[in-house]
Amino acid sequence: MQYYTKQQLQGAGGYSPGVRVGNWNEEANMQETKLKELLLKQQEGSLKLNIFQQRVAIALQPVNCSTIRNDGLIHFGDVLQLANVGAAAFLTCDIEDRDTRVGDFSCTVSATVSNGSVACSTFLIAKYSPAQPSICDREYSDDALHYGQKLRIIANPMVQGETLDGLGGSRPLYLYSRPVGTTHFAKFSRHQLVALTDRASYDTVWQVVAVDPGQRGVSEGVQVMAGAPFLLQHCATKQDLCLENHSFVNDLGSQLEVSAHSSFSKGQKSVCDMERMGRTQGQLDKAEGEPNHWTFLTGNTVATLPMTSDQGEGAQALIKIIAQSADAGPGGWVGLKRKLLHLDVDGSGAVNAEDLSIALRHAGLCLNGGELQLLARQWPTVHSDQVDVLALVQAIEKAFCTDY
């Protein structure tokens, strides 16, 4: 029996299920099934519209910028915004707009003028302590930010659906950049890419530099005032954070592209400015333009961010996973223990987090940047990027003996 009309076989829409012609019964059952699936997804909140609304609600939830001390300075632990001085645009992130390539987690960073103080446009700053400090790396004992001091910029953990804390959540996302290549570059300007990543490498390290080239040597070590213009320079490539003149629209509204590019004036503006101040052309380097001028904005609220309450629980759960992977990996727990202890070359007990990641990778376990930072915070040393390997080995051995 033929259940389709001649018109349907030829590609036409045919009759509606209300007309008892052709396969009207099958179409009526199919529409009823689709309606049930729609109502079920609506009840569970899994419709694309519901997912989009939840995503926008998390990203655009209001956040009050705060400071740990109301003295007009920028401190480590402040909840702040990074604004471009000339365009009055705020740096923002979209964690759902991600790089789909395997093994390279990164999400988009842009600038906007319309969102205000929300989760996606507020950030934290953290100190950077190198594993092997040189004579050029100055260390400051206070919690204020200084010109020339190396730092990391961390996205507000509220944008990932977590509570706001001083560590950036269970998986911190750092502002990073990398040199221009065939696979990594800004979409519109083709300059150096700027995005967020969970890998705490040297590509995530920045420093605050004075706007005037003649004052950079004098201002090094001076505390940074809130609202003061500066250049945010990438330490690895010496390129400055730049607001490009390319606009686009995403789910969060109209955005401006952000890259790492030192923008210099092509005309004689900087030369005329130096001559007006009584300086000749060869005395100073040419100053960067307004696209590179940024400032930190904080609020009047004085508050101290709490540390994550589940940090210890998350570290212990991660230790159990490491113990299970070590037992199933080549050499077992004895082989992994030998590799970890061999990393401590100087006998100080401090091991770089990247070297620890390589050793664990040989055991069949790949840790991301957030998990390595969790181990570094649970078993800390003098430097923030190092782990107390002796205490770590004892914790893994304890978990291994408990489970097996």
Long-range CB contacts for residues 362-366, cutoff 8 Å, separation at least 24: 362/329, 362/330, 362/336, 363/322, 363/325, 363/326, 363/329, 363/330, 363/331, 363/335, 363/336, 363/339, 364/325, 364/328, 364/329, 364/330, 365/321, 365/322, 365/325, 365/326, 365/329
Looking at residue 153, what is its pLDDT?
A: 95
Looking at residue 85, what is its pLDDT?
A: 93
Task: Tell me the mean pLDDT in the region 377-400.
Answer: 77
pLDDT tier for residue 309 given thresholds of 50, 70 and 90:
very low
Nearest to 371 by CA among 169, 195, 178: 169
pLDDT tier for residue 306 given thresholds of 50, 70 and 90:
confident
Looking at residue 350, what is its pLDDT?
A: 82
Tokens of 337: 């223990």
Beta-carbon contacts of residue 283 (< 8 Å; ≥ 6 apart) = 214, 274
Helices (H) and strands (E) in the chain, counts: 10, 16
Task: Tell me the mean pLDDT in the region 349-373.
Answer: 74
Q: Does residue 4 surpass a pLDDT of 80?
A: no
Task: Tell me the mean pLDDT in the region 47-76.
Answer: 89
pTM: 0.71
Looking at residue 369, what is its pLDDT?
A: 66
| CA 260/CA 177 separation, integer angstroms | 7
Beta-carbon contacts of residue 264 (< 8 Å; ≥ 6 apart) = 270, 286, 287, 288, 289
pLDDT tier for residue 186 given thresholds of 50, 70 and 90:
very high
**Rg value, the chain, Cα:** 27
Task: Tell me the mean pLDDT in the region 118-125.
Answer: 94
Helices (H), ranges, 149-268? 216-219
The residue assigned the tokens 């419709």 is 47
Positive or negative: CA dihedral 221, 91, 166, 388: negative
Query: 311-403 — its CATH code?
Result: 1.10.238.10
Task: Tell me the mean pLDDT in the region 328-346.
Answer: 75
Looking at residue 28, what is its pLDDT?
A: 82
In the chain, what are the domain boundaries?
Answer: 61-302, 311-403
Question: Of 1-10, 20-29, 30-39, which gets the smallest average pLDDT?
Answer: 1-10
> What percentage of the chain exceeds 90 in pLDDT?
32
Looking at residue 284, what is its pLDDT?
A: 55
Looking at residue 12, what is its pLDDT?
A: 61
Task: Tell me the mean pLDDT in the region 130-142.
Answer: 75
pLDDT digits (tens, 9 = 90+) for 78-88: 999 999 998 98
What's the mean per-residue pLDDT of the chain? 82
Phi/psi of residue 51, nearest 5 degrees: -65, -40
The residue assigned the tokens 């995403």 is 250
Residue 205, helix vs strand vs coil: coil
Query: 61-302 — its CATH code?
Result: 2.80.10.50
Are 194 and 178 spatial neighbours (Cβ–Cβ below 8 Å)? no
- Cα distances (Å, whole numbers) of residue 191 to 93, 289, 344, 381: 18, 16, 40, 37
